[in-house]
Structures are given as structure tokens and as C-alpha cells.
Amino acid sequence: MKKLVLLLVCCAPLWAVAQTATPAANDPAERNKMLYSLGFLLGDNLKKQLILDNEDDYKAVSQGMRDSLLGKASQTDIEAYKPQILQKYQEDARLISEKREASQQEYLEDFKKEKGVKVLDNGAMMKLSKAGKGKAAKADGSATVHYTGTLIDGTVFDSSRERNQSFTTRLTDVIPCWTKALQQMKPGSRAKVVCPADTAYGSRPVGPIPANSVLVFDIEVLEVK
């Protein structure tokens, strides 16, 4: 699915959300909610990079941010603490990566044990919820589908259903996981397809999809050519 998510996901970064209808910016209450939302997003991004263990950690970080935003003098010697800050980023990145890898491996192992799961020859897995009829697409054929793509925590990164627009693609133009799975699916069939990172985007981050991500798709085949 090299073109699928690359084309569709990259069209929906954070700035694109701002192009949708928003509350009046000159309303003080709405401005306050917008700024709160901005702070929440900044905190969410920081949470993905650092391990903050308790309320004291949160208070220290928020106080530093507050003093900086208000133009106050730092309460510490910033230069002296830069090496420790860098070390924390590096160590936390390692720990976060290890935890994420462990949770993804557990997800793959648990899904593999479910009744009806088929392991494809490239390591991707699928579980049909509806069989469909007719012939499946060949490796050099094409298919029209509806799909929803998520990370293992359920975060949706792309969905033709949300756009209410089906997606037509050649099987040679998608990620290896899709190429193999669609060859197993007849028109009218629906399946949960789980793609290990090496059958998806590997170490390459794509839009909101982090590097080395296991991807989960709910795919419904509408037509095969």
C-alpha cells in the first residue's frame, strides 16, 4: 500500500484540520478553548517523547514552560542542565521504543492465536468476517475497496469510510501486506488484516504512522478487476 496511505494520510496533517469549520476566533471563551487545545496537543506530543512519572514532573515542566512563555528569567542554569536533558531524551526514547516494540509483538502473537486467522507467506495475517463470492484479484490485478487503517491502540490514521469514497488500486501499487491479503479476498468479503512493520512501511514514518509500526486494517472488497 505504498501509495495508499502515502497519498491519503499525508493529506491530513494537523494544519489541514484548521481548514475545517471552527468556532469564532474573536470569542474570548472560544479562544481560551483553542489555546487549551493547543496546550493539550503540545503535551500529547511531549508525552510521546519523554517519560514523566508523577505530578511533580508535570509541575516542573509546566513551570519551566510558563516562565519561558512569560519572558521570566530561568530558575536554573540552562546550559549546565543541557547534557542531562539530552541524556533524558535519549534514554526515554530507548525505553519508549522498547515498550512499544514489546506491545506490538504481544499484539501480533495474540492475534495469531485467534480462531480463523490465516498467516500469509510474508508474515501478514488476516481474519475473514465475511467470505464474499467470485474470484479474488490476481497479483497484477486491481481491486476497489473500503478500508479503515489503525495503529494497534485503535488510533485511526486513514479511512475511506470516513471520506465516504471507495479506493481503487492495483495490487502492485500497495504495501506487501495488502498485495498478499487482497489475493485472498473475493468481492463482498471483509477481513481484519494485520501487517507487521516489514510488510507495511518498515522503519519509514509516514504521516501520523510512526516508524516500525504494526498496522491494522478493516478491509472490505467491493469489486475485483
In a domain, 112, yes or no: no
CATH number of the domain that 139 lies in? 3.10.50.40
Co-location of 192 and 164 in the same domain: yes
**Count of the separate structural domains present in the chain:** 2
In a domain, 113, yes or no: no
In a domain, 18, yes or no: no
In a domain, 93, yes or no: yes
pLDDT for position 195: 97
Q: Among the options 111, 167, 209, 217, which is catalytic?
A: 217
Domain extent, residue 143, equals 4-9+118-224
Active site residue 217: yes
Active site residue 167: no
Co-location of 214 and 148 in the same domain: yes
Q: Among the options 111, 167, 201, 209, which is catalytic?
A: 201
Co-location of 169 and 202 in the same domain: yes
pLDDT for position 47: 86
In a domain, 19, yes or no: no
Co-location of 47 and 131 in the same domain: no
pLDDT for position 53: 85
Q: How do residues 38-58 score in pLDDT, each as one tens digit?
A: 999 998 888 888 999 899 999
Active site residue 175: yes
Tell me what the mean pLDDT of segment 52-66 comes to.
92
Co-location of 218 and 124 in the same domain: yes
Q: Among the options 51, 77, 78, 157, which is catalytic?
A: 157
What is the pTM for the complete model shown? 0.77
Active site residue 157: yes
| Domain end position, chosen among 101, 136, 163 | 101
Co-location of 133 and 86 in the same domain: no
CB 195 within 8 A of CB 214: yes
**Dist. CA 26–CA 24, nearest whole Å:** 6
In a domain, 107, yes or no: no
* Unique residue bearing C-alpha cell 546550559: 79
What phi and psi, each to the nearest 5 degrees, are found at residue 13?
Answer: -70, 180
Position 26 confidence tier, pLDDT thresholds 50, 70, 90:
confident
Co-location of 41 and 80 in the same domain: yes
Q: Among the options 158, 167, 209, 219, which is catalytic?
A: 158
Active site residue 158: yes
Co-location of 127 and 213 in the same domain: yes
Active site residue 147: yes
pLDDT for position 24: 59
Q: Among the options 111, 167, 175, 209, which is catalytic?
A: 175
Co-location of 131 and 174 in the same domain: yes
Co-location of 32 and 75 in the same domain: yes
